[in-house]
Structure 1
């Protein structure tokens, strides 16, 4: 009973920590944006990029996850924090050291005559700190949480690299499709130019219409070089992302065959268990709480047991055969008496860091919810826009057919056909860009939902 009372009194000597701030985080029960039935779409798979059905895309993402330079740095940092955890955890274990010291000394006797003496000594020392107040355990918990936070950071970096690789590849296929469209349009403009030239040569049309057809051909030819440049730069960016030197990138399915996967279902609360950045913020908060506990207990006394044993002799033969045994056992208690308010200030600083990380955790959750809402909304609105674009393109194609027949039969000028060609080309370019944006929006949604990360 006396020991318990003494422990209670000593525990009251610990520095007082301010209470944690109240949480203002509120998570709704459903998404604002429309989402399919829960039973129709499972949660994102770990290798969600395979759902696009393109082997080249999957190979690129796999290579990027294995060879990306930034990921290598992050993984090396995880190894560093794993080693730091081992260093801190060693403080809860006993330490043992061995010391062997043969000594030869020349001294003066009481009568002034010098003499030489030999001392052979071997000693081992074992010490162990008794963690009465849990301070060492709190330090280990803090190191463990920091290590877990770094692992979550590595997962977040891997998720980002996978999303960048997938989005970049889809953008590349979109540029490829736009280049094919520009080249096909250039051939059509060439045919229109030849037709206008023939009609001008036979006197059926004016030189103005022929020059207009020539200008439209040159405008179509002008679209090809910037597309090739964009493809060249996108290939180099993807090569660097995959940890390779700039070069070409293997292609798989064309843009027309790529289909955005079904929107994964799930509740907002499930998102909190999937996103690695939220896990990182949570582990950082756990580490801050553990550091606060360890800092607060610095005013409490520490207890250490030290055992020293060894052997000593003045002759080597006696040291080997029959040395003199020596030993010492020490119990040490150390308690700070006056620190000038240092520990209290450190405790306040640790509490402030805990509050910062608590606010950062709430911000991470809100940001994740907003990213997911925006991703769901983007997929839905882009699909609606694609429907309108299909209708627009069908109207433009029919308009061009009628305008071409009227021009060929002499019922209209080339300007009508020229306007119809431009309208259809704009609708085709918009269609390809919408398809690319929809595919990339699906990638962004998977990243926002924490796909590809195994908690």
Structure 2
């Protein structure tokens, strides 16, 4: 429909009626076919299994403890901060937020008309031997879909949920990064201790091998004692090479996590070990026997956090909130698929000046507008809309299963960490008793051998058993510390500043 009017009439009445039409269309577009969202019932028990540490009155939950408060060592805190700045995986997760935010803004812009400046010219034969010319300049609104049935609004809600999910994914990535840096740093600290222990053990066994050779050359011992001493020395040297490799692997892992070579001043300080004492004279008492000792364990640097209830995980763990936002997005897509069964109403309009000659543009009487609404009701689409609705329903069911799996995984991770907290302490205490008993056994075996009461095989066996026990003690201590990190991560902590 086209009509030429005088400029005052067009600018006053027609523009106001067009604005009222657009407002009415926006009001009518409030209809939505998005199913009502209800959070699925968590498929887990109301309590975590097994004994749990007693909660301290007023103590915050694990998710409310910032990582700077959880980590007590200043060097490790600085290293974590460096990783949060330079880690590439976290950087990708942050950039994903910007990408998904832009997609959401595109969907939101679809609800509004796009108005541009349009200019056109058309020349064609008029059938009488002449040429007809039409020129126009003005504002144009092209194919704006009036969202009567909420299709575009549903797509916008789905894009918003995806944007919120990307934010939760970034927080989950930060939680994982904090835990990974802390666990790797603790592993490096333990491997430093084991490396120092192994180097001390190699020195002790080298001394034992030297004495065995002297006794064998003097005819005081058999070749069996000598070969046994050689075997234990070679085993210690093999362990030394293994510990050096494990330490190098920890450094490589930290380099990847931090995004650069970790500064030396932020790494764990290697422990100092006393030099092995050469046994040149036969001791007469057990206190005179030099026993290989393990380095003193580092002080605890991690804060204890209460576990809380499984229901807390639904609102505190970022990965669960991410899965829920993805479920909300899939639910909103169903509304868009339902709306596709109803008429799609679009509007094309323009307002400006038109004339049969370029010189006639912008003159009185050349102003006008066009308004061309269109409604398209799908009648036959070969089942496309129905298939799209079925796919949207299936996507929602998949998202429900993924959400429930995320809840179950979180429940299992917390339960595993609580099981470790309940048992690793007892295991560590028992191994400390065993290490003291093995140290006493070595002293007594060495004393008995030096006084000719026992064979050298007893000494070597006691030495081997002591080294194995000391290694296991250090590994258990590491497992206990890393279990604290895993519990903190499983509770959803680590990303709050």
Q: TM bucket by the smaller chain? A: 0.7 to 0.9
What is aligned with 1:222? Answer: 238
What is aligned with 1:256? Answer: 297
Question: Is 1:37 aligned with 2:55?
Answer: yes
When residues 169 and 21 of structure 1 are mapped into structure 2, their CA distance, relative to the original with a 3 A threshold, is closer
CA apart distance, 1:247: 9.8
CA apart distance, 1:283: 0.6
Question: Is 1:287 aligned with 2:329?
Answer: yes
CA apart distance, 1:350: 1.1
Which residue among 99, 106, 123 is the counterpart of 2:138?
A: 123
CA RMSD of aligned residues (A): 3.3
Between the two proteins, the alignment pairs up a number of residues equal to: 440
CA contact 2:188–2:268 (8 Å) conserved in 1: no
Which residue among 434, 459, 473 is the counterpart of 1:431?
A: 473
CA apart distance, 1:334: 2.9
What is aligned with 1:330? Answer: 372
Distance 1:392 1:353 in 2: 56
What is aligned with 2:197? Answer: 181
CA apart distance, 1:161: 2.4
Distance 1:106 1:134 in 2: 42
Question: Is 1:84 aligned with 2:103?
Answer: yes
**Partner SS for 1:400:** helix
CA apart distance, 1:99: 0.8
Map Cα deviations across residues 3-53 of structure 1 (whole Å, 9 max, x no partner).
Answer: xxxxxxxx9xx9998999985724414543422224275322554265342
Map Cα deviations across residues 231-278 of structure 1 (whole Å, 9 max, x no partner).
Answer: 112211221222236997941356822424324331111111111111
CA apart distance, 1:193: 3.1
Distance 1:139 1:288 in 2: 10
Within a 5 Å distance, the mapping from 1:134-153 to structure 2 comes to: 134-153=150-169
What is aligned with 1:237? Answer: 253
**Partner SS for 1:39:** coil
What is aligned with 1:5? Answer: none
Distance 1:19 1:285 in 2: 9
**Partner SS for 1:256:** coil
What is aligned with 2:458? Answer: 416
CA contact 2:34–2:333 (8 Å) conserved in 1: no
Please list every run of 5 or more consecutive structure 1 residues that lacks an aligned counterpart in the other structure.
Answer: 1-10
- Higher alpha-carbon deviation: 282-291 or 444-453: 444-453
What is aligned with 2:18? Answer: none
What is aligned with 2:308? Answer: 266
Question: Is 1:350 aligned with 2:386?
Answer: no
Distance 2:70 2:331 in 1: 41
CA apart distance, 1:418: 1.4
CA contact 1:48–1:446 (8 Å) conserved in 2: no
CA contact 2:44–2:411 (8 Å) conserved in 1: no
Please list every run of 5 or more consecutive structure 2 residues that lacks an aligned counterpart in the other structure.
Answer: 1-28, 271-295
CA contact 1:274–1:449 (8 Å) conserved in 2: yes
When residues 397 and 221 of structure 1 are mapped into structure 2, their CA distance, relative to the original with a 3 A threshold, is same
**Partner SS for 2:432:** helix
Which residue among 173, 179, 187 is the counterpart of 1:171?
A: 187
CA contact 1:185–1:220 (8 Å) conserved in 2: yes
CA contact 1:15–1:347 (8 Å) conserved in 2: no
What is aligned with 1:398? Answer: 440
CA contact 1:17–1:351 (8 Å) conserved in 2: no
Distance 2:323 2:127 in 1: 71
Distance 1:19 1:220 in 2: 63
**Partner SS for 2:389:** helix
Distance 1:21 1:149 in 2: 15
Question: Is 1:341 aligned with 2:383?
Answer: yes
